């Protein structure tokens, strides 16, 4: 399968860089200060519907660190499903009840999930919550199921050699605590399906020096007049995140050593989770006043409560936002106009203020930028002539309920 990759130089369409959209121009004028990185992949089909990819990049390869925040939940969800398949235990699937034992001083246990219809925690339910509302605890439980060392070693085997998923999110834990993950076990009624002891990672990550900002708010809420040190935090470079998305939506283009061991049902489940809106979910059920359709849809719709998303457009994505960094990666499908493309972007929204005091910058700079960027690429794709129109039926899975 042919993939066109340009050299690691900026080759994003010049007309887009010079956009008159104020939200785009504001960030592009100071792209270095915003650590702006973009990857846009055009998709062209041949007569047999085989895809060919053309990548356009901006800011990739400049050595800028961007905190990945919740985007690390994407590879963790993928590898959790793969691990279930690899275990090959009858009855052990994503619907099996998964219980977590407490790890004193690190993370409590889980015996119930009251957001689930059956009140039991499952891999399936955790993954739904990850993509519908970016739930932190759901990710942490999958991180514990995988273990820090197996999780990272598998990512490196898949070719994501610069990715490092070192810690849980939303918990003020030190490095050693995140190397230690809870024991988990699965049951079907009274039958024990699988019992996994707690794990301790022996990984020694290469030394890094990843700093950002001039000031930051520390974990005690105090202002520190120094850059924030991300050297021991998660790292997920945008080009590797984008590649994960491309492989997820076009697994047929991936050679065996780098292909996830997922079933067709796994892929369809992931597509449904990534494209449905919180209000479309019946298990779990969300307050649609807070969790509106665009709640985690930043590209094209800016996460705006007032956004009206057309029925014929679906965005399959995973965003992340924390410590002044905002990232979104998406496969966009327009079923009415036969439009499809991949788009990933990351930026430091709070280029001047303390990292950790970022909410206003997310709303005034980051989300408007991603909205306008998505609109630009979508408008470009609407006008682009293609020899063969894509058949997008495979990605209409949002019309069925997530199971």
Question: For the segment 148-189, what is each residue's pLDDT rounded down to a tens digit?
Answer: 999 999 999 999 999 999 999 999 999 999 999 999 999 999
Look at residue 7 in the predicted model and tell me its pLDDT.
44
CA distance 273 to 316: 8
Selected residue with higher pLDDT from 339 and 29: 339
The confidence score (pLDDT) of residue 194 equals: 99
Mean pLDDT across 13-36: 83
Alpha-helical regions (H) of 182-263: 238-249
| Backbone torsions φ then ψ of 313, nearest 5 degrees | -115, 135
From residue 37, alpha-carbon distances to 40, 64, 328 in Å are 10, 9, 11
pLDDT the model gives residue 382: 95
Give the ranges where 250-386 is alpha helix by DSSP (H): 264-275, 359-361, 367-383
Q: In 10 A of CB 93, how many CB atoms? A: 20
- Sign of torsion over alpha carbons 151, 145, 130, 333: positive
Whether omega for the bond prior to residue 267 falls within 30 degrees of 0, making it cis, is: no
Contacts of 393 (CB under 8 A, 6+ apart): none
User: DSSP letter string over 27-49?
Assistant: HHTTTTTTT-EEEEEEEEE-TT-
- Predicted confidence (pLDDT) at residue 9 exceeds the cutoff of 60: no
pLDDT value of position 136: 98
18 contacts: CB under 8 Å, gap ≥ 6: none
**pLDDT score at 158:** 98
Query: What would the mean pLDDT of 375-380 be, rounded to a whole number?
Result: 93
Looking at residue 80, what is its pLDDT?
99
Q: Is 40:342 a contact under the CB 8 Å cutoff?
A: yes
Q: How many domains does the chain have?
A: 1
pLDDT over 80 at 8, yes or no: no
∠ CA 199-205-206 to the nearest 5 degrees? 170
pLDDT tens for 77-123 read: 999 999 999 999 999 999 999 999 999 999 999 999 999 999 999 99
Q: How many angstroms separate the CA atoms of 362 and 354, rounded?
A: 13
Of 4, 27, 12, residue with least CA distance to 253? 4
pLDDT-derived band of residue 208, with 50, 70 and 90 as boundaries?
Answer: very high
242, 243, 248, 253 alpha-carbon torsion, rounded to 10°: 140
CATH label of the domain that carries residue 11: 3.40.710.10
What token pair was written down for 347?
A: 């930026």
Q: Which two tokens stand for residue 19?
A: 């956009």
User: Per-residue pLDDT for 30 more than 50?
Assistant: yes
pLDDT beyond 70 at 304: yes
pLDDT surpasses 70 at 399: no
Residue 93 DSSP one-character state: S
From 215, 194, 174, select the one nearest 323 (Cα to Cα). 215
**Owning domain of residue 301:** 3-399
pLDDT score of 359: 84
The rounded distance, in Å, linking the Cα atoms of 23 and 150 is: 41
In this model, does residue 36 exceed pLDDT 50? yes
Burial group, residue 224, by CB count within 10 angstroms (0-12, 13-18, 19+)? middle
152: tokens are: 């990272």
Q: Phi/psi at 385 (nearest 5 deg)?
A: -85, 130
CA distance 251 to 253: 5
Judged against a pLDDT cut of 70, whether residue 71 lies above it is answered with yes
């Amino acid at each position: 399968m042919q993939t066109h990759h340009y050299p690691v130089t900026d080759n994003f369409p010049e007309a887009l860089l010079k956009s008159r959209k104020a939200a785009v121009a504001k960030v592009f004028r100071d792209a270095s200060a915003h650590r702006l990185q973009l990857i846009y992949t055009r998709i062209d089909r041949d007569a047999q519907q085989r895809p060919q990819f053309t990548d356009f990049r901006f800011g990739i390869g400049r050595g800028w660190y961007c905190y990945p925040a919740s985007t690390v939940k994407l590879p963790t969800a993928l590898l959790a499903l793969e691990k279930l398949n690899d275990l090959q235990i009858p009855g052990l699937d994503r619907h099996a009840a998964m219980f977590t034992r407490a790890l004193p001083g690190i993370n409590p246990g889980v015996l119930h999930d009251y957001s689930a219809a059956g009140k039991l925690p499952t891999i399936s339910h955790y993954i739904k919550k990850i993509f519908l509302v970016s739930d932190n605890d759901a990710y942490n439980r999958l991180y514990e199921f995988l273990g820090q060392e197996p999780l990272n070693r598998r990512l490196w085997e898949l070719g994501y050699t610069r990715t490092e998923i070192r810690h849980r999110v939303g918990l003020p834990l030190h490095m050693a605590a995140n190397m230690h993950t809870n024991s988990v076990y699965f049951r079907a009624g009274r039958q024990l399906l699988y019992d996994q002891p707690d794990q301790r990672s022996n990984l020694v990550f290469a030394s890094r020096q990843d700093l950002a900002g001039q000031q930051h708010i520390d974990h005690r809420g105090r202002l520190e007049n120094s850059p924030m040190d991300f050297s021991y935090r998660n790292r997920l470079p945008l080009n590797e995140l984008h590649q994960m998305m491309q492989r997820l939506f076009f697994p047929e283009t991936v050679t065996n050593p780098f292909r996830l061991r997922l079933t067709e049902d796994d892929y369809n489940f992931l597509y449904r989770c990534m494209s449905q809106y919180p209000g479309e979910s019946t298990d779990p059920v969300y307050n649609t006043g807070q969790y509106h359709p665009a709640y985690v849809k930043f590209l094209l719709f800016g996460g705006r409560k007032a956004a009206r998303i057309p029925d014929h457009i679906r965005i399959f994505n995973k965003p992340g936002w924390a410590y002044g960094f905002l990232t979104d990666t998406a496969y966009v499908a327009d079923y009415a106009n036969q439009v499809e493309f991949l788009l990933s972007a990351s930026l430091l929204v709070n280029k001047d203020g303390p990292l950790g005091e970022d909410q206003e910058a997310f709303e005034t700079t980051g989300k408007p930028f991603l909205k306008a960027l998505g609109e630009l690429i979508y408008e470009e794709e609407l006008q682009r002539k293609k020899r063969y129109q894509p058949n997008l039926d495979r990605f209409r899975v949002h019309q069925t309920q997530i199971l």
